[in-house]
């Protein structure tokens, strides 16, 4: 073919036409080669991601029960709105439509997506606990919301009369700091924030699964695909507590309108039967999405209802701590229980009179009588005999000044002053023995939690055996049914001889059963209770009321601490509350024994 025109000598138009076709064909061929050969895997993946979606399957969280199997913490289904960032990027107007439907600002929704997205095709949770009316309206106009859908996610519910808010805790969205500490979680995950929900997160949470679904052009699921990578979610274990529902309910009733704590322990293994902190809040308030209004109300309440007074608040223990001093003196042979002194209602030390609670004085007392009548003067003089070094040593021996190790987060240690502490606070050599007089009767810089006092009285009840307090009884794998029991952790305090415990226990017997005992209100018909009352002076207001005790005297089964903040006298205020719970416990114990006896006779 002649490519030039014979008349003009110029290139033939037909030839130019064919050249253009060849050039365009080469460009198209190269582009096809680029897409299909060089970048086939990349664009194939993008195509699949447009059509195939990986969906994370959240596991069911484990439920929580009391020791007898009564359901305490349940789940109920709620709707969660989520979206695929890819579709939002292609259709930004969807944000405005979602804002109109949900009542949230467009900027807020955009901020959530920017903060939580893990990839363009990974779902992002936008809102939890969406009202059913919003869901219904959305379903009627689903075509307007490509890449947007709803999941059904469980929200915690509490089906009984008890609150136990400080024990259960609450759930919330994981924070960046929490994610750094635990690689198994990702943005948007809901985890335990406080209480048992937090402490046993790894047991309750379960393991997420994954499935692969085919979606249409607007992101709606068409069908679930078979994929070797898919996994079913593994539900969390069911958690059974040592808690006794009936005792917990009664203890909450006893403390209603008060500030303080009541805790009862099973002396066989340290299991907590009841643990109440007041004031508290309804756990429903912090279930699911937490209202900013509710959060601020709880946070700024002057009574601090979110504070667990059982383990997070520290107080002077008052006269209940006289038992520590008595055990130190008896162990070191500083005195015998017959050592006596005279109380005239005060003791002069230096230029200052240190008063007894009984203005007219107790007269002459030995150690048993001093414990029974809670004489301050006796223990002032005993404190000077024992001294700060031995007093602080025995305080730490009984695990004061350290956490009990209960299975709850955020426990406080309290404070046991020693010479180093006093030197730092008041200056080396600038403090006097007058401080020891205050410490001898549980005042001054000494601070304890109610749980620490319960642990101490349990040691006395068991004559030196310490069981770590705990709330978990066992947990159950819901797939296999295998139970994993809490293994009791015990320690023997060998420094103190049995004879010392027996002498102090005799004094505690007289507190509840003696003619002049200060804790008679804790007594139980047909059961011998031993205990110690305490009234701790409070420079900021009314005195705090304490009572610690155990029963039965000869074969202890349970121990208790009752504490009422600004309650007044321990014998008049705290001891009666302990008595109510003691009576409730032993009445039910007798009823159960009677039922077992009858059942045994029937089965013969």
Select from 186, 190, 213 the least CA-distant residue to 201: 190
For residue 47, pLDDT beyond 70: no
Per-residue pLDDT tens for 567-584? 999 999 999 999 999 999
Q: Say whether the peptide bond before residue 439 is cis (omega within 30 degrees of 0).
A: no
Per-residue pLDDT tens for 499-547? 999 999 999 999 999 999 999 999 999 999 999 999 999 888 899 999 9
pLDDT class for 38, splitting at 50, 70, 90? low
The first and second tokens of residue 439, run together, are 């410490």
Per-residue pLDDT tens for 408-450? 999 999 999 999 999 999 999 889 889 999 999 999 999 999 9
Cβ-contact 66, 81 below 8 angstroms: no
For residue 300, pLDDT beyond 70: yes
* Beta-carbon contacts of residue 602 (< 8 Å; ≥ 6 apart): none
Select from 517, 546, 514, 529 the least CA-distant residue to 582: 529
Per-residue pLDDT tens for 87-106? 898 889 999 999 998 888 99
Per-residue model confidence (pLDDT) at position 535: 97
* Beta-carbon contacts of residue 371 (< 8 Å; ≥ 6 apart): 322, 323, 326, 504, 507, 508, 510, 511, 532
The first and second tokens of residue 136, run together, are 């219904």
Over residues 287-316, mean pLDDT: 92
Map residue 561 onto helix, strand or coil.
strand
Select from 323, 377, 322 the least CA-distant residue to 500: 323
Between 564 and 224, name the one with better pLDDT. Answer: 564
> Is residue 296 within a helix (H) or strand (E), and if so which, with residue range?
helix 292-299
* Beta-carbon contacts of residue 409 (< 8 Å; ≥ 6 apart): 194, 195, 198, 199
Per-residue model confidence (pLDDT) at position 523: 98
The first and second tokens of residue 79, run together, are 């709707």
Q: Which residues pair with 415 in a beta bridge?
A: 447
Q: Say whether the peptide bond before residue 279 is cis (omega within 30 degrees of 0).
A: yes
Per-residue model confidence (pLDDT) at position 25: 65
Sheet with 52-57, strands from edge to edge, namely 52-57, 209-215, 221-225
Task: Identify the weakest region by mean pLDDT among 124-133, 224-233, 360-369.
Answer: 224-233
Select from 124, 44, 35 the least CA-distant residue to 87: 124
Per-residue model confidence (pLDDT) at position 237: 98
Cβ-contact 252, 163 below 8 angstroms: yes
Between 578 and 128, name the one with better pLDDT. Answer: 578
The first and second tokens of residue 492, run together, are 């023997």
Select from 142, 46, 144, 27 the least CA-distant residue to 94: 144
DSSP string of 17-83, one letter each residue: HHHHHHHHHHHHHHHHHIIIIITHHHHHHHHHHHHEEEEEEPPPPPPEE-TT--EEEEEEEEEEEEE
For the chain, give the percent of residues with pLDDT over 70.
89
Instruction: Report how far residue 468's alpha carbon sits from residue 408's, in angstroms, rounded to the nearest whole number.
Output: 12
Cβ-contact 151, 126 below 8 angstroms: no
Per-residue pLDDT tens for 194-217? 999 999 999 999 999 988 878 776
Per-residue pLDDT tens for 370-383? 999 999 999 999 99
């Amino acid at each position: 073919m002649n490519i030039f025109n014979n008349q003009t000598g110029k290139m033939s138009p037909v030839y130019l036409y064919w050249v253009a076709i060849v050039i365009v064909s080469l460009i198209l061929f190269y582009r096809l080669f680029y897409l299909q050969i060089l970048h086939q895997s990349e664009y194939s993946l993008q195509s699949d991601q447009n059509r195939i979606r990986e969906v994370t399957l959240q596991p069911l969280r484990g439920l929580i029960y009391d020791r007898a199997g009564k359901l305490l913490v349940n789940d109920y289904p709620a709707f969660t709105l989520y979206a695929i960032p890819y579709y939002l990027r292609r259709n930004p107007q969807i944000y405005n439509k979602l804002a109109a439907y949900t009542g949230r600002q467009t900027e807020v929704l955009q901020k959530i997506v920017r903060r939580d997205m893990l990839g363009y095709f990974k779902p992002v949770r936008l809102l939890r606990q969406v009202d059913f009316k919003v869901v219904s309206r959305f379903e009627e106009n689903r075509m307007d919301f490509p890449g947007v859908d709803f999941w059904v996610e469980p929200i915690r519910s509490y089906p009984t009369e008890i609150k136990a808010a400080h024990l259960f805790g609450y759930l919330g969205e994981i924070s960046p700091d929490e994610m750094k500490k635990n690689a198994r979680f990702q943005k948007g995950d809901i985890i335990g924030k406080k209480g048992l929900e937090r402490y046993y997160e790894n047991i309750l949470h379960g393991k997420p699964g994954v499935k692969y679904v085919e979606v249409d052009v607007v992101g709606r699921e068409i069908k679930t695909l078979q994929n070797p990578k898919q996994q079913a979610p593994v539900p969390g274990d069911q958690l059974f507590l040592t808690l006794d529902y009936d005792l917990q309910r009664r203890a909450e009733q006893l403390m209603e309108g008060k500030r303080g704590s009541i805790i009862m322990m099973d002396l066989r293994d340290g299991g907590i039967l009841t643990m109440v902190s007041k004031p508290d809040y309804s756990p429903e308030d912090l279930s699911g999405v937490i209202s900013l209004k509710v959060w601020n109300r709880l946070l700024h309440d002057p009574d601090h209802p979110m504070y667990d007074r059982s383990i997070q608040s520290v107080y002077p223990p008052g006269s209940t701590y006289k038992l520590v001093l008595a055990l130190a003196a008896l162990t070191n042979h500083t005195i015998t229980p017959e050592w006596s002194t005279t109380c005239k209602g005060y003791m002069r030390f230096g230029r200052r009179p240190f008063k007894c609670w009984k203005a007219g004085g107790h007269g002459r007392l030995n150690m048993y009588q001093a414990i029974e009548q809670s004489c301050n003067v006796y223990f002032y003089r005993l404190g000077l005999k024992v001294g700060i070094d031995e007093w602080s040593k025995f305080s730490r021996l009984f695990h004061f000044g350290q956490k009990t190790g209960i299975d709850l987060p955020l426990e406080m240690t309290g404070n046991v002053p020693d010479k180093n502490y006093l030197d730092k606070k008041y200056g080396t050599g600038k403090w006097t023995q007058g401080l020891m007089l205050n410490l001898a009767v549980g005042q001054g810089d000494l601070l304890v939690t109610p749980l620490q006092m319960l642990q101490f009285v349990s040691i006395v009840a068991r004559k030196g055996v310490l069981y770590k307090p705990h709330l978990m009884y066992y947990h159950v794998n819901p797939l296999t049914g295998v139970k994993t029991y809490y293994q009791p952790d015990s320690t023997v305090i060998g420094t103190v001889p049995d004879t010392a415990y027996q002498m102090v226990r005799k004094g505690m017997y007289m507190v509840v059963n003696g003619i002049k005992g200060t804790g008679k209100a804790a007594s139980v018909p047909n059961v011998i209770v031993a205990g110690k009352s305490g009234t701790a002076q409070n420079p900021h207001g009314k005195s705090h009321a304490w009572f610690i005790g155990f029963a039965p005297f000869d074969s202890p089964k349970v121990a208790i601490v009752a504490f009422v903040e600004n309650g007044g006298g321990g014998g008049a205020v705290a001891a009666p509350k302990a008595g109510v719970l003691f009576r409730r416990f032993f009445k039910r114990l007798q009823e159960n024994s009677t039922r077992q006896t009858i059942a045994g006779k029937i089965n013969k």
